[in-house]
Amino acid sequence: MRQELTVGELAAIHALSEEFGCEIAVNVSIPAGDGWINLHGAVVRGEDLVAIEIRENKGNGVPYFQIEHLIELGSTLRFHRFSKFVLYVAVVSEAPPELDESVRAKLAQMASAAPCEVHVRMYRLNTLRAKYNI
């Protein structure tokens, strides 16, 4: 059980809250089928579950297999309350900027091939820290 967000996760939550215009619930467990799905964050948009997956890039990439698994789960699970699963993948990077493009490209490729709606957001940690005074 995690009690606190990292600085990168907190910064991403602030940025996405601003984009969505609402508060984001963090460390959420949602009933799905016969089990539960655990998310870094979530909001409800009408009848849709907007799931948030946050990853930090410190120069060694991101675990794409975990994101692929979440996309697969989101497209196959049936939720008691929600009609649609929408995934936002937020990457907060403190890696050298030239390394971000390969991460962005891979995630964009995954999003375009996904059977559910997937959005990718790339952020620079220092930019978000300054903007949100974190």
Q: Which two three-digit tokens encode residue 71? A: 């996309």
Residues 6 or more apart from 124 whose CB is under 8 A from it? 92, 93, 94, 97, 100
Specify whether the CB–CB gap between 40 and 52 falls below 8 A: yes
Residue 11 lies in a domain: yes
Indicate the DSSP class of residue 79: B
Residue 17 domain flag:
yes
Decide if 80 is inside a domain: yes
pTM over 0.85: yes
Domain that holds residue 123: 7-128
Is 134 domain-assigned?
Answer: no
* 20, part of any domain: yes
Q: What angle do CA 132, 133, 134 make, to 5 degrees?
A: 95
Residue 122 lies in a domain: yes
Q: Is residue 49 part of a domain?
A: yes
Selection from 42, 26, 130 nearest residue 81 by Cα: 42
pLDDT of 44 = 95
Q: What is the CATH number of the domain that holds 21?
A: 3.40.1350
Q: What is the pLDDT of residues 48-60, one digit of tens each?
A: 999 999 999 999 8
Per-residue model confidence as pLDDT tens digits over 80-96 = 889 999 999 999 999 99
Domain count along the chain: 1
The three-state secondary structure class of 49 is: strand
94-106 pLDDT, tens digit per residue, is: 999 999 999 999 9
Q: Are 116 and 85 in contact (CB under 8 A)?
A: yes
In a domain, 92, yes or no: yes
